[in-house]
A and B are shown apart, each in its own frame.
Chain A
Amino acid sequence: MRNNFQHAQAAHCESGVTRNLLNIIGVEQMTEPLAFGIGSGLFFVYIPLIKINNGPAIAFRSFPGIIFKKTCQALNIDVTRKKFSSKQKAQEYLDKKLEEGYAVGCQVGVYYLPYFPKEYRFHFNAHNLIVFGKENGKYLVSDPIMEHETTMTEYELERVRFAKGALAPKGQLYFAEKKGAVTNETMQQAIKRGIKRNVVNMLHIPGAIGGVKGIAFTGKKIKNWRNKFGLHKSGLYLAQLVRMQEEIGTGGGGFRYIYGAFLQEAYEYLPVDELMRLSNEFTKAGDLWRDAAVQASGIYKGRLGSQEDFNVMGDYLREIAAIEKKAFEDLSKINWH
């Protein structure tokens, strides 16, 4: 059984799954950048007290699950989301939905994903893929970050659906159902709402570790890493920062390029010139994030290592914080007519 579904590759798993699931239920205008922007995907947070894989806990995007939820909410689309305590029931439910013709989104852990290269298998549990059929006992799987669709055995899929550790998926699956047509006006409202929420997340979140304040805060902390942790460990920390920022799933530049693309696409629905100008600002921010990554790689490769090199690294983040702060302030001031 192969349900109505067309695999399409994406940069970011959750935005890609959102786009692909919405496309098949008739929301053809949905693209990956629109899903990312309407879902207010852009973020930054550094939590100094938590460690992930022995490195700093840094994220460039909003909490997993938010993009799908908020995008569907804004477009008045029904979402069913289910978690399971029993592996058997999780599989039975999935099989039933597949037989009813659905394509189903699943949250999975990447550690046991059979088609991932070994170097990429960490205990990261907020990956998303779509199951859209079953043939000869194998599930047909569309992983949005892969070029081609793939298959998984029942055991393999069960294992990743019941990955353990932080953000354990607990067999979580979800699918969308359209209630009515998604009009141009709905899209316009959704885009405005998405931008407004993203402004709040980046500018007005309380505390010093999230949003643009969090970027500047991290820049300040990085300058102390050399003295505090020594060269080896701070090199590993910077490597983790670069991986969170540039690894597969980000579209490059810590999701800033996807956001730039979103603002350009938003312009087609809401022709305000400011959107095009601010898209350039996010491109600039993304470029600076990548320059910072090059500086970081100099340190973790051992080519650089003086305190001055760490200061330069930290100053990159402070410069980025200033650019993104201004850009979000300008977004909040847009007069939508």
Chain B
Amino acid sequence: MKKEDVPQDLGSLGKITKEVCYATDASGKYTTELSNGWQVKTNALDITWDDINQKIAAAKEKVLCNEVSPILFFMEKSVMNIGILSSYTGFFKWQIKRHLKPAVFNKLSTKKLTRYAEVFNVSVDELKTMNVHEE
């Protein structure tokens, strides 16, 4: 890639930091150039988040229909799976699968709920109600 071809399409990262790219100058010698981002990879990130957001919305729907506990909603929101959630909370996977049942979730102690809330960066109240303020 030539230095002048380094893309400068401002993306979400470019607003916070420019990134270093390696490119060649007129004589073919390698040098570095700062980039604001590239539309091709912004699109890749966007469709990845679209997919995640769809999963979050589907999870919310299921919680509202009382098919599953709010843990699923927050798990999707945190881009986690049961394995990652298990290592963060210290619960076994089978325990988390139980906690995903609304009936079991409703009887969980505050202590256990706090463990989930801390990992999801919310309060216990927010964990129960899914009322969270988007940053």
Contact of A257 among B12, B15, B28, B30 (CB under 8 A): B30
Interface mask (A224-258 → B, CB under 8 Å = 1, otherwise 0): 00000000000110111011001110011100011
B24 part of interface (Cβ distance < 8 Å): yes
B108 part of interface (Cβ distance < 8 Å): no
Residue of B nearest to A263 (CB): B30
Interface mask (A277-313 → B, CB under 8 Å = 1, otherwise 0): 0011001001100100110110011000000000000
- What is the CB-to-nearest-CB distance from A19 to chain B, in angstroms, rounded to a whole number? 12
Q: A118-B135, A164-B88, A165-B87 are in contact. Are A11 and B30 (CB under 8 A)?
A: no
- What is the CB-to-nearest-CB distance from A72 to chain B, in angstroms, rounded to a whole number? 22
Are A283 and B1 touching (Cβ within 8 A)? yes
- What is the CB-to-nearest-CB distance from B113 to chain A, in angstroms, rounded to a whole number? 19
Q: Which of A117, A122, A290 has the most CB of B within 10 A?
A: A117
A-B contact pairs, 24 of them (CB 8 A): A11-B20, A11-B22, A117-B13, A118-B12, A119-B49, A123-B79, A145-B17, A147-B34, A148-B17, A164-B87, A239-B43, A239-B48, A243-B41, A243-B45, A246-B40, A248-B13, A252-B21, A252-B35, A260-B24, A261-B30, A290-B1, A293-B40, A296-B44, A297-B40
Q: Which of B16, B29, B30, B38 has the most CB of A within 10 A?
A: B30
| A interface residues (Cβ-Cβ under 8 A, vs B) | 9-11, 33, 53-55, 111, 115-123, 145-148, 164-165, 168, 235-236, 238-240, 242-243, 246-248, 251-253, 257-258, 260-261, 264-265, 279-280, 283, 286-287, 290, 293-294, 296-297, 300-301
Are B1 and A248 touching (Cβ within 8 A)? no
Chain B at the A interface: mostly helix, strand, loop or mixed? Answer: mixed
- What is the CB-to-nearest-CB distance from A46 to chain B, in angstroms, rounded to a whole number? 17
Residue of B nearest to A300 (CB): B47
Are B29 and A264 touching (Cβ within 8 A)? yes
Number of A-B contacts (CB under 8 A): 125
Q: A118-B135, A236-B48, A242-B44 are in contact. Are A164 and B30 (CB under 8 A)?
A: no
Are A286 and B30 touching (Cβ within 8 A)? no
Are B47 and A283 touching (Cβ within 8 A)? no
| B interface residues (Cβ-Cβ under 8 A, vs A) | 1, 6, 12-13, 15-24, 28-30, 32, 34-35, 38-41, 43-45, 47-49, 51, 78-80, 83-84, 87-88, 135
Chain A neighbourhood of B21, CB < 8 A: 11, 251-252, 257
Are B47 and A235 touching (Cβ within 8 A)? yes
Are B29 and A117 touching (Cβ within 8 A)? no
